[in-house]
């Protein structure tokens, strides 16, 4: 587990004072790739911890792949200058990463970077040995602590950088159609005017609003 950054409070205070925010695209990227591999790694680890057994060689290799993938995607955010211009799906992420606030970058490098490296070193040290090498329960616990450390940091950073104004604007836009259409139905009370395609659109908009609100939890 990475040590607590000596200036963590000051850096988060700086983020709050400067109203630093990360876009929904950035957070979607973080949660769709880094968190996905994080969850997969934790799932394997906890399965063996519950059994009080060492992780099998095959599953340890899977964990090594997942950690490598997390490091790969972390570097795309942290070192966007190393990305290729043809990586179209990451254009917005690249643009935003180049302008990452220094306090955010410092914290990401310290927590994400260090904990990912710790896990990579532990797993790699066993994979480099012969196939009979068995990971100790102590090292499994060290990996578990780093996984929890990353999850806690991402949650703290998400809370500190969520763009509430952007979410409020999106909710306001999504509410407009349901409010207008349902108000129209309520006033006229004419069943023949019910359009199920529009009702479906209202439901879709309300579901998207719920999803946006869930991001604020």
**Helices in the chain by DSSP H: which ranges?**
8-17, 24-29, 35-51, 57-78, 91-98, 102-108, 114-127, 137-161, 164-188, 196-214
C-alpha count within 13 angstroms, C-beta hemisphere, residue 143 = 31
- Secondary structure, 3-state, 45-67: HHHHHHHCCCCCHHHHHHHHHHH
* Integer Cα distance of 71 and 25 in angstroms: 19
**Residue 86 phi, psi dihedral angles, 5° rounding:** -80, -5
* Integer Cα distance of 10 and 1 in angstroms: 21
Per-residue confidence (pLDDT) for residue 208, from 0 to 100: 83
Classify burial at 98, counting beta carbons within 10 Å of its beta carbon; exposed 0-12, middle 13-18, buried 19 or more.
exposed
* Integer Cα distance of 2 and 4 in angstroms: 6
* Integer Cα distance of 92 and 176 in angstroms: 28
Per-residue confidence (pLDDT) for residue 156, from 0 to 100: 87
Per-residue confidence (pLDDT) for residue 54, from 0 to 100: 94
Per-residue confidence (pLDDT) for residue 62, from 0 to 100: 94
Contact, 108 vs 27, CB < 8 A? no
3-class secondary-structure state, position 130: coil
3-class secondary-structure state, position 163: coil
Residues of the chain with pLDDT under 50: none
* Integer Cα distance of 71 and 64 in angstroms: 11
Enumerate the domain spans of the chain. 8-162, 168-214
**Helices in 79-113 by DSSP H: which ranges?**
91-98, 102-108
Per-residue pLDDT reduced to its tens digit, 104-157: 999 999 999 999 999 999 999 999 988 888 999 999 999 999 999 998 898 888
3-class secondary-structure state, position 195: coil
User: Alpha-carbon Rg of the chain, whole angstroms?
Assistant: 22
Say what the pTM is: 0.71
Per-residue confidence (pLDDT) for residue 136, from 0 to 100: 94
Per-residue confidence (pLDDT) for residue 69, from 0 to 100: 93
């Amino acid at each position: 587990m990475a040590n607590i950054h000596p200036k963590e409070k000051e850096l988060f205070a700086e983020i709050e004072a400067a109203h630093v925010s990360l876009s929904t695209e950035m957070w979607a990227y973080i949660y769709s790739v880094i968190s996905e591999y994080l969850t997969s790694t934790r799932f394997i680890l906890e399965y063996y911890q519950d059994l009080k057994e060492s992780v099998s060689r095959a599953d340890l290799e899977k964990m090594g792949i997942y950690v490598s993938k997390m490091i790969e995607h972390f570097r795309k955010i942290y070192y966007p200058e190393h990305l290729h211009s043809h990586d179209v799906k990451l254009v917005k992420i690249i643009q935003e990463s180049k302008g990452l606030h220094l306090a955010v970058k410092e914290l990401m490098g310290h927590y994400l970077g260090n904990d990912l490296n710790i896990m990579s070193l532990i797993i790699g040290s066993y994979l480099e040995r012969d196939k009979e090498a068995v990971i100790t329960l102590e090292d499994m616990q060290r990996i578990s602590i780093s996984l929890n450390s990353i999850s806690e940091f991402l949650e703290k950073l998400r809370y500190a950088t969520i763009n509430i104004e952007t979410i409020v604007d999106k909710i306001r836009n999504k509410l407009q159609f349901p409010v207008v259409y349902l108000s129209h139905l309520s006033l006229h009370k004419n069943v023949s005017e019910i359009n199920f395609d529009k009702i479906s659109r209202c439901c879709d908009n309300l579901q998207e609003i719920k999803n946006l609100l869930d991001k604020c939890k």
